[in-house]
Every structure is written in C-alpha cells, then in structure tokens.
Copies of this chain bind each other. A is one copy, B any other.
Amino acid sequence: MALFDLPIERLRSYRPERDEPADFDAFWSRTLAEAGEFDLAATFTPYDLPLAAVDVYDVSFAGWGGHRVNGWFLTPRGADRPLPCVMHYIGYSGGRGFPHDHLLWPAAGYAVFVMETRGHGGASPQHPGVTGDPHGGDHAQAPGMMTRGILDPETYYYRRVFTDAVRAVDAAAAHPAVDAARIVVSGGSQGGGIAQATAALRPSVKGALIDVPFLTDFRRAVEITDRDPYQEIVRFLASRRDGAERVFATLAYFDGLNFAARGRVPALYSVALMDDVCPPSTVFGAYNHWQGPKEITVWPWNGHEGGAGFQREKQLRHLRELLADG
C-alpha cells in the first residue's frame, strides 16, 4: 500500500467540521428509552467446554425491539469478587466466533462480554455468528448491512446495533460477576465504531479502546476510499439517485465524529496510515474531537490490520492502570 491520505503532520491536527443534527441527543435519548421498555431478559447459559481456567456462558439478551442478541460471556474461574469487564464489539461481517477466541481478557483477570452485531457472521467460517436482524428493510438495499434502512434514521440498521451495544453494557453491569463501575468498551473497525458510540451513549463506562474505527466521517470516507464497506453506500447512491440527501441526513445521527465529540472517558485509539478501509483522516478526525483523556497509537506501515496483537499488549498495560482498584 502506498500512502494515500493526508501526511501524518496534518493528521495530528486534522479536525473536520461535523454535521450534527439539532436533535441528535434527543434522537438517541428517545431511542434508548424506547428500547428500555423491553426487559433485558439477559440469559447466561453455561457452555460446556473442558476449560479449567474460565467459565464460559452463551449469552442472549433483548436488544433493540426486544430482539434476541447473542454473545459470549467469559470470566476467570474462581474470582472472589466482582471483576472489571471488557465489552467486545465485532468487526464488519464477523460473528462472535468461538469462546476460545476471547481468552485474552479473562487471562488478564477481567470478564469479557462479546456482543454479536446482528445479521453478521453468516459467511464467516472462522468467526461464525448466529444473531439475526429480524428487522428487514422497507426499501431495496445494497448487499451487506451498511444501507439497510438508510433512508431514515428511525429504520437505519445501526440504530438497532448501537442500541444493542448500550444494552449489552447494561446486561454486563447487571451480572453479579461484574464490577459495574469498571466496564470498558472495545473493538476494532466496526467494533471500534460501536465502542466509540457506546462510550458516548453510556458515559458511565470507565474507558474505551477504539481501534481503526469504522462508521466515522462517512462523507469523507466515501469520497477517498474505493474499499468496502464504505463503498456499499456509494453503490446504493449510484442506484438510488434521489437518495443522497436523505442518506447523509440519516448518517449524521450515526457518525463517529458526533459521538467522539461527546466522548469524555479515557480513550485509547489506534490508527494505521496505510489503512484504506478506514482511512487515517477519518480516525484522526474523531480522535481530535474526543473530549476526554486520550492517547492514540499510530502504525505507520500498516493497513486495516492496524496494531493487531501489538495493540492488544498496549491495551493490557493501559487497562492495568485504568482498572486498578483503589
């Protein structure tokens, strides 16, 4: 990959205009309130694996619209008091995978709550998913999830996903093994975008780990990268000729720039300079708007894999400090 975005010197201070609807906060308050009318009804079913060190639960809870959302919940075996918990959101197209894909945080002494992104994971042999999105579309859409219901913020796919994500925090917080005051949201790519939004929508979380976040500065993204999934939006607009105004009006309610501008908890970001899936300017755009304590790791020679396991090690050390109890 050659460099294709702004040079790092400019990225450091790049802080784009945000397109924020006047009723942004009202929209989300109402959305979460409506969802709150459904009982969480979280279930944690023990999942039989011959693992000595962790307890594994097959999780399900009522997300947006009361729809069942699946995931995994793992805790280190034998803890004698509530533990910090890492919320893990998944990247585009992946499912929750297997419990043993998520052993990192338990090994570090934390619980982990993995939430599936509804509808994803059906063509992901290494990280399969199960959760459906029972809410179909009221208009034709491009394949993939980016444009499902995109003509109206009320019906847009990510309204359901972000709501699921907030409620997953609630489900985790209510679990007796979890110390509700020490929940951290995390994820990479789509998962990073969800974590970013959730940190803004549920400011009680303790921190956020946001890697190469997707769903951020849509307007710029669709103009500077040829890659999916941002290009799903372009294909939709190429077909739906009269849709651009409505589409961008919808996306303004879901843009990571607007969530970042509401982020007040400590955030550890990462960005890759050769990332043509989530271009670095879109990541720095959000980072530079973030209001809370923050730090960003720059991977100059990487693409969308970003910091990969190196970033995990940074996060381990970051959380050791952040979550140290009293």
Contacts and interface: CB of A to CB of B under 8 A. Distances in A.
Nearest to A129: B140
A223 B132 contact: no
Interface in A128-173: 128-144, 147
Nearest to A157: B136
A124 B51 contact: no
A33 interface: no
Q: In the complex, which range does the number of interface residues on chain A fall in?
A: 35 or more
B119 A136 contact: yes
Interface string A109-123: 100000010011111
Interface stretch (A177-185, A258-266, A287-295, A309-317): A309-317
Contacts of A142: 122-123
Interface stretch (A10-18, A21-29, A224-232): A224-232
B239 A51 contact: no
Nearest to A7: B223
B244 A107 contact: no
A38 interface: no
A299 to B, nearest CB: 7
A103 B107 contact: yes
A309 B98 contact: yes
Given A223-B3, A317-B50, A122 B136 contact: no
A64 to B, nearest CB: 12
A249 interface: no
Interface in A20-50: 49-50
A240 interface: yes
Contacts of A97: 309
A140 B118 CA distance: 7
A135 B132 contact: no
B301 A237 contact: yes
Interface string A293-326: 0000001111101011110110011011000000
A98 B241 CA distance: 13
Nearest to A101: B309
A76 interface: yes
A235 interface: yes
Contacts of A147: 122-123
A246 to B, nearest CB: 13
Contact of A54 (B107, B132, B140, B239): B107
Nearest to A96: B140
B239 A50 contact: no
B239 A124 contact: yes
A280 interface: no
A2 B50 contact: no
Interface of A: 1-3, 49-54, 76, 93, 95, 97-98, 100-101, 103-104, 106-109, 116, 119-144, 147, 222-226, 231-232, 234-241, 244, 274, 299-303, 305, 307-310, 312-313, 316-317, 319-320
Q: Lowest 6 CB-CB distances: which A-B pairs, in order?
A: A98-B309, A123-B142, A122-B140, A52-B109, A136-B136, A237-B301
Given A53-B109, A103-B107, A133-B137, 6 more contacts: A50-B320, A51-B108, A126-B308, A127-B309, A234-B301, A237-B300
